[in-house]
Amino acid sequence: MTEFSSRVERVSISGIREVFEAAGADAINLGLGQPDFPTPENARRAAIEAIEAGDTDAYTSNKGIESLREAIAAKHDRDNDLAVDPGDVIATAGGSEALHIAIEAHVEAGQEVIHPDPGFVSYEALTHIAGGLPKPVDLREDLTMDPAAVEEAITDDTAAFVVNSPANPTGAVQSADDIREFARIADEHDVLCISDEVYEPFVFDGEHHSPATYAESDNVVLINAASKAYSMTGWRLGWVVAENDRIERMLRVHQYAQACASAPAQYAAEAALTGPQDHVAEMRDAFEERRDVLLEGLEDMGLQVPTPEGAFYAMPRVPEGWTDAVIDRGVIVVPGEAFGANGEGHARISYAVDVETLKEALEVMREATNAVR
């Protein structure tokens, strides 16, 4: 057989999948990275109507349909105090493709990408695929990323740093002050900030803040998606917002890799963004309630958990053997090391399940905790 590229050989299939495969069919799954709610009815309807009208049979423009990009611009005006020209938006196949084209267009072979550790698995993998060097930074005790740690990690070879708030796998939310600092660092060091905001609506106290709102330069690429906000992970619809020259470069990658985002998904996402937002608020409230149940349960069994302020994940510190003991008893959680070396000694628990299931899982975790102590 012929050889594979060294870039792809540096990447392996995510450790999360291995956990799912090891668990039995009737296991309680607290490993999933998606909301357990249906896609809003108006979004589903919009896709069906577009299909029936024959509007989805052909390629759309590479950037996506104008009306979707206008809806995305209106969303950023409404939620982020950010004036976005619809021409500075590319609709992508989820936040995943948005991250891919951002890194591919900005990272030269051998350049460094600073990212949180533990952090979302794609940052390191996509950096390798681009021929770059991932540069993980340690997090604070509360699992937020310290702007000072990012600033210290910057070298002449830094192409970008990634901010992810609210964060996967930690559920941590960066303060407004931190976000302002990240914007300042992007400005002063003339380095790109890739801001992954796919969990934006799920902030329990205070508000979501974007570095794009505060940066004075054009050095922020904002990544967002309909995936989590509208429970549309299967639709594959995300987007990037950036200054026009950056958009033009990212479009080169998007055009050749993807041509355009799926047309039915574009119509669905437009309806989700422009329709009533009460589903989003309902999901946020449900996640907050579950977060409280989970936190109380974990603390009650003596585990230390930095309070997750957003998304739908918690990342307790766990004794050795805990994750395996929980999985062996039929509850899937993800070992922290799947998210970077600093994840060791932690587990990621997704609480995208109903309260009753969560309570059942907590009983299992209690047994496992007693067994490994």
Ligand X SMILES: Cc1ncc(COP(=O)(O)O)c(C=O)c1O
Residue in the structure block whose two tokens are 């109380």: 296
- Comparison of 168 and 342: residue with beta carbon closer to ligand X: 168
120 interacts with ligand X by CB under 6 A: yes
Peptide bond into 169 cis (omega under 30): yes
Q: Of 152-191, which residues contact ligand X (CB under 6 A)?
A: 164, 168
147 interacts with ligand X by CB under 6 A: no
225 interacts with ligand X by CB under 6 A: yes
* Number of residues engaging ligand X in binding (CB under 6 A): 13
Q: Counting every residue, how long is the chain?
A: 373
In whole angstroms, the minimum distance from the beta carbon of 14 to ligand X comes to 10
195 interacts with ligand X by CB under 6 A: no
Q: Which of 195, 227, 342, 369 binds ligand X (CB under 6 A)?
A: 227
238 interacts with ligand X by CB under 6 A: yes
233 interacts with ligand X by CB under 6 A: yes
Q: Which of 33, 297, 310, 340 binds ligand X (CB under 6 A)?
A: 33
Q: Of 91-99, 170-178, 210-218, 301-309, which segment contacts ligand X by CB under 6 A? A: 91-99
**Residue number of the CB atom closest to ligand X:** 94
- Comparison of 240 and 368: residue with beta carbon closer to ligand X: 240
198 interacts with ligand X by CB under 6 A: yes
96 interacts with ligand X by CB under 6 A: yes
Q: Of 63-71, 94-102, 289-297, 314-322, which segment contacts ligand X by CB under 6 A? A: 94-102
How far apart (Å, rounded) are the C-alpha atoms in residues 345 and 335?
Answer: 8
- Two structure tokens written together for 255: 């055009």
Alpha helices in the chain (DSSP H): 6-9, 15-22, 41-52, 66-80, 94-106, 121-129, 147-153, 176-188, 211-214, 226-229, 244-257, 263-274, 278-300, 322-328, 355-372
How far apart (Å, rounded) are the C-alpha atoms in residues 110 and 7?
Answer: 11
- Comparison of 96 and 274: residue with beta carbon closer to ligand X: 96
In whole angstroms, the minimum distance from the beta carbon of 217 to ligand X comes to 23
- Two structure tokens written together for 1: 């057989």
Residue in the structure block whose two tokens are 């910057």: 154
Strand-by-strand arrangement of the 313-314 sheet = 313-314, 347-350, 334-335
CA angle 335, 314, 118 (to 5 degrees): 55
How far apart (Å, rounded) are the C-alpha atoms in residues 341 and 147?
Answer: 20
Structural contact between residues 74 and 241, judged by C-beta atoms closer than 8 angstroms:
no
- Comparison of 115 and 325: residue with beta carbon closer to ligand X: 115
In whole angstroms, the minimum distance from the beta carbon of 258 to ligand X comes to 12
- Comparison of 123 and 267: residue with beta carbon closer to ligand X: 123
Nearest to 118 by CA among 308, 338, 324, 291: 338
Which residues contact ligand X (rule: CB under 6 A)? 33, 94-96, 120, 164, 168, 196, 198, 225, 227, 233, 238
